[in-house]
Each structure stands twice: as C-alpha cells, then as structure tokens.
Amino acid sequence: MSNFVVTLIRFGVTYGLASLMGFWVLVGSVILVCRKGPRWFFSKKVRETRPACMQDSNLGSHGFLRAQDVRLHYVAAGSCSKPLMLFLHGFPECWYSWRHQLKEFKKDYRVVALDMRGYGESEVVRGVQNYEMKKLVGDVKEVIAALGYSSCVLVAHDWGGAVAWTFAMDYPDLVDKLICMNIPHPHRFVKHISSSWKQMIKSWYMLYFQLPALPEYLMSSGDYSTIKNAFHGKKMGLRNRENMTDDDIEAFKFAISQPGCLTAAVNYYRAAVRYPSKLRHDPQVTSPTLLVWGDEDGAFDNDVLVGHDKFVKDFTLKKVRGASHWVQQDAPEEVNEIMREFLG
C-alpha cells in the first residue's frame, strides 16, 4: 500500500472520529445554552492586566527573553549564583501553576517558571507547524542558555512534561535531574494508548482538538468556563479545592484569554497528530528521574505507569494518594517534600 493511500486513510479516520466527537460536544453546548441561557454562553470578559495574584513579589519577578523565533515570558526568583530549576507547565495553564514550588525552592535554586510558546504573555506564533515537538524542545535548550546556564533541574507537568521527557532524551548533558508530574514517558504512553480502550476514552479530546476553530470557540464560551471546570469539575478537578481559589482560576483565565493563546494551546495537540515524533530506537533517559503521580488522574490511566524502568536508567516513582492530575497544585506540600527528598 502506497504512502499516499496510508496517509489518506489516516486522515479520514482521524477527522471522522474528530467530527463525531465534535458533534457530541456541540450537543452538550446546546444543552448548556438551554440551561444557562445565551447571555451566559456568549459572555466573555476582556482581560488586559494581570490579576493581583500574578503580581505577588513572593513568586518572583517577570521577564522576557528570545528563543528561536519567539519571545518568551517567564517569572524568576532566587539568586543567579544558585543552580537553575526550570519549570514547564501543561495545558491549559501557564507559569502560575508552579506558584507553590517557586516559593519553596527559591532559597536553594534560581527558579524560573516559563510561559511556553503561545501561552500567557509569551508570543503567539501562527501556524500549527510552529508547535511541533522539535520547536518546543528547541525553546528549552535556548532558554537555558539565555538564562546563563549550561544545565538545569528540569521540572514539568502534563504537556510541559512531554517536552521535558523528549528534551532529556535529546540533550542529556543539559539535564542534571528530571522531575515529571502526571505525564508518562512518551514511548510508554504510545504503547499504552494503542492497547488500552480505557486510555483511548480518556484521551478523546486529543482527536476532538484536531477540528479547526470549534474547540477554541466552545472552550471560550461562558467566559472560559472550561478552565473552571478543568480545576473544579468532578472528573478532572482538584481534590483539595481550597488550593485552587477563584483568584487562581482568574489567573489561568487571564493567561488563556490573551489574543491567539487558546488557538496556540490547542495547536500543541494538532501538531502532535500532524507532525508526530518518530519512535526512537533508544528512548532511554539517562538523567536521574522522578515521576510524581496523583493517582486520581482523570486524563491518564494508572496502568500507564507500568514499565517505566525500561525507559529510565535511574528511575523513582512517587504516588500522591488522592491527588488529581494537577498534582503540584492539589497537594503542594507533599509534592515539595517528595522533590526535596529526590534532590537530596
């Protein structure tokens, strides 16, 4: 069978399933309009200035740097004479998801929490191809150098974790230690989702996000109500809701509502399907690695954890009982303690 035919079949299956999922999301949206009214559904607040919680000087100072073809925003604290601890956030978040860790580790590290490309106050680059993995990995490499370091402790969650795993494989000399949270090794995830219906169902949104425009439009409805549902909802929400206040949610709404940011965030998923990374012959991570896992994750099946020691030379797994996908925000004290123990 020719490559053209394979591509055509893959395209048809992908967008056929995406359209089916889009139909059901539309049905749900119509039900919401009937329940809450058109005024609620079409409401959208303009957010031009950072909320007060994002201006907290205890979290650090705001800065910008240039990496490849994009201007990136970050928040940094701690002495520049200390080792670098670089934080990468997930979807649909921003640098602020690391607020608890910035406060905790700034005494011992130069802590830097990045707004990844297209998120928050970082520059939005047009085009799905600008969000493929090699671009995201390249950003991390240039950020480390731009900050004046030759390596770092790399800490990441969700999509940031997918980038961090890949970065540690590509540039092992730049990663002193790797800490990932609720994101499996990419090879382990690919093998797991190809054989687990449970994981396929949990990952339905990855196909839905392949549709043009519709995901962004519906996610922004009800003044970005999807953001609040992600953190406070029954399926995905934090178990310790007091750790995600209305002010915190407003911070994430501010980040995702900046012009073009929502499309950029969804483009991470579009690029992953359109420009998939090739599976490696040797997917080993040689840096000492800690995987922190909230075991009430609504996005990942816990069975995906099996077999990680095959991909990591020096591997530590720590489960946080009862914590959600947003583990570093759901149980910050426990996560910080686990990190300190691992870092020695």
- Lay out the sheet containing 70-77: strands in order across: 61-67, 70-77, 110-114, 84-88, 152-157, 175-181, 289-294, 315-320
Q: Is 192 in contact with 183 (CB distance < 8 Å)? A: no
Active-site annotation holder among 185, 187, 325, 330: 325
Active site residue 69: no
CB 60 within 8 A of CB 102: yes
Q: Does residue 223 have an active-site annotation?
A: no
Grouping H, G, I as helix, E, B as strand and the rest as coil, residue 312 is strand
Q: Of 122, 238, 138, give the one whose Cα is nearest residue 182.
A: 238
Number of other residues whose CB lies within 10 A of the CB of residue 253: 20
Catalytic residue among 268, 269, 297, 308: 269
CA–CA distance, 269 with 248 (Å, rounded to integer): 25
* DSSP for 278-295, written as a single string: PPPS---B-S-EEEEEET
Please count the other Cβ atoms lying within 10 Å of the Cβ belonging to residue 145: 12
Catalytic residue flag (residue 158): yes
Evaluate whether 90 touches 300 at the Cβ level (below 8 Å). Answer: no
Q: How far apart are CA 67 and CA 88, in angstroms?
A: 15
Question: Of 115, 139, 158, 297, which residue is the catalytic one?
Answer: 158
Can you read off the two tokens belonging to residue 287? 């840096």
Q: Which residues participate in catalysis according to the annotation?
A: 158, 269, 325
